[in-house]
Amino acid sequence: MTGICDGRVVVVTGAGRGLGRAHALAFAAEGAKVVVNDLGVGLDGAGTSSGPAQQVVDEITAAGGEAVAHGGDIATTHGASSLITAAVETFGRLDTLVNNAGFLRDRMLVNLDEDDWDAVMRVHLKGHFLPLKHAAAHWRAEAKAGHPVDGRVVNTSSGAGLLGSVGQGSYSAAKAGIIGLTLVAAAEMGRYGAQVNAIAPAARTRMTEQTFAETMAAPGEGQFDAMAPENVSPLVVWLGSVASAGVTGRVFEAEAGRITVMEGWREGPTADKGARWAPAEVGEAALKLLADAGPVRPVYGAGR
């Protein structure tokens, strides 16, 4: 197999199903050697199985590609470290890390248990941080040893992280945290030759199939399946390739055939007194600024 990732070694977390599976197959189709990480857990993170990761590996090898399964828990130091080691020991290098693993435990805030909050933060936010940390350490060592590094990291946020989502307080907070982590990593890891970006995908997966089943009919025969996870993967593959040189610290929305560069928090209307405000006068000033500002975008599920 040859393509824009020919010869690159790519690690994809949560690659046994859904978006991760689509990414792994797409990278392999473009010539990458792939480490397929997946714990094989249920939608809520319970249970484990080696089956999903191995099935993706079998698909890749059956098509003539190269892949290896990794079943470690990437939200632990050992699991994340062994993930990077698996790439280096199996294929001799690491070029691209795609952080994708996650699950849901949705509750309204008043019903959200502390354990469920911690579990979602652990898999999404810590499960991004630890592989990123160990990939960065590997690339730093390579750069210090005088070896050329052309690293790529693609993190997975969500529209819930950009706008919030009713009933998904923990998930929204974790996905927003991933954006902040992406910006910091992009600023820190450039010196090692690595670029870091994030995507906010919308696609039909185990986590979203109920939502899309309620809002969008399945495509007819021969029609474009707008919610297929495979629609997101081309952007991820490009970001993980050398073709994306110079692109870092960016967040992209990806859905169906549409990609959007998100511009994040930017300064809007401003008032500067040049001295400390009194509470009453700062309120008056703030109301004037809000009148000149754009409208607040509604949170998902809040009604429009």
Residue 42: predicted pLDDT: 53
- Asked if residue 285 belongs to a domain, the reply is no
Q: What number of other Cβ atoms are within 10 A of residue 110's Cβ?
A: 6
Q: For the chain, what is the domain count?
A: 1
pTM of the model: 0.90
Among the listed residues 243, 147, 263, the one whose alpha carbon sits nearest the alpha carbon of residue 195: 243
For position 55, what pLDDT does the model report?
96
Distances (CA, A) of 9 to 176, 231, 297: 28, 22, 39
> Distance of alpha carbon 2 from its chain centroid, rounded?
25
Q: Using CA atoms, how far apart are residues 235 and 241, in angstroms rounded to an integer?
A: 10
Does 136 map to a domain?
A: yes
pLDDT at residue 49, as a whole number: 57
- Asked if residues 42 and 35 have their Cβ atoms less than 8 Å apart, the reply is no
CA–CA distance, 23 with 205 (Å, rounded to integer): 13
pLDDT at 46: 54
- The DSSP H or E segment spanning 23 is helix 18-29
pLDDT at 221: 64
- How is residue 228 written in tokens? 């297929």
Name the DSSP class of 278. P
For tokens 């435990």, what's the residue? 105
Query: Among all residues, which ones are annotated catalytic?
Result: 158, 171, 175
Instruction: Give tens-digit pLDDT for 98-156.
Output: 999 998 888 999 999 999 999 999 999 999 999 999 999 999 999 999 999 999 999 99
Long-range contacts of 64-67 (CB under 8 A, 24+ apart): 64/1, 65/1, 65/28, 65/29, 65/32, 65/33, 65/34, 66/28, 66/33, 66/34, 66/91, 67/24, 67/28, 67/33, 67/34, 67/35, 67/36
Q: What pLDDT shows up at residue 213?
A: 47
In a domain, 114, yes or no: yes
How many residues are present in the chain?
304
- What per-residue confidence (pLDDT) applies to 51? 83
The pLDDT value given to residue 50 = 66
Task: Tell me, rounded to whole angstroms, the distance of Cα 62 from its chain centroid.
Answer: 27
| 108-110-116-122 Cα dihedral, nearest 10 degrees | 80
Q: How much is the pLDDT for 45?
A: 45
Contact in structure between 99 and 131 (CB atoms under 8 Å): yes
Print pLDDT tens along the chain (304 aa): 579 999 999 999 999 999 999 999 999 999 999 999 998 755 544 545 568 899 999 999 999 999 999 999 999 999 999 999 999 999 999 999 999 999 888 899 999 999 999 999 999 999 999 999 999 999 999 999 999 999 999 999 999 999 999 999 999 999 999 999 999 999 999 999 999 999 999 988 555 444 444 444 555 566 778 889 999 999 999 999 999 999 999 999 999 999 999 998 889 999 999 999 999 999 999 999 999 999 988 898 786 5
Does any domain span residue 173?
yes
What pLDDT score does 104 carry?
A: 85
Q: What is the CATH number of the domain that holds 27?
A: 3.40.50.720
Contact indicator for 117, 57 with CB cutoff of 8 Å = no
Is residue 36 a part of any domain in this protein?
yes
* 286, 292 contact by CB (below 8 A): no
- What pLDDT is stored for residue 204 in this prediction? 80
Domain assignment of residue 269, yes or no: no
In a domain, 75, yes or no: yes
d(CA 64, CA 48): 28
Our separate counts of H helices and E strands in the chain read: 10, 8
DSSP code for 107: B
* Residue numbers of the domain that contains 103: 9-262
In-domain check, residue 93: yes
Q: Give bridge partners of residue 156 from the DSSP assignment.
A: 199
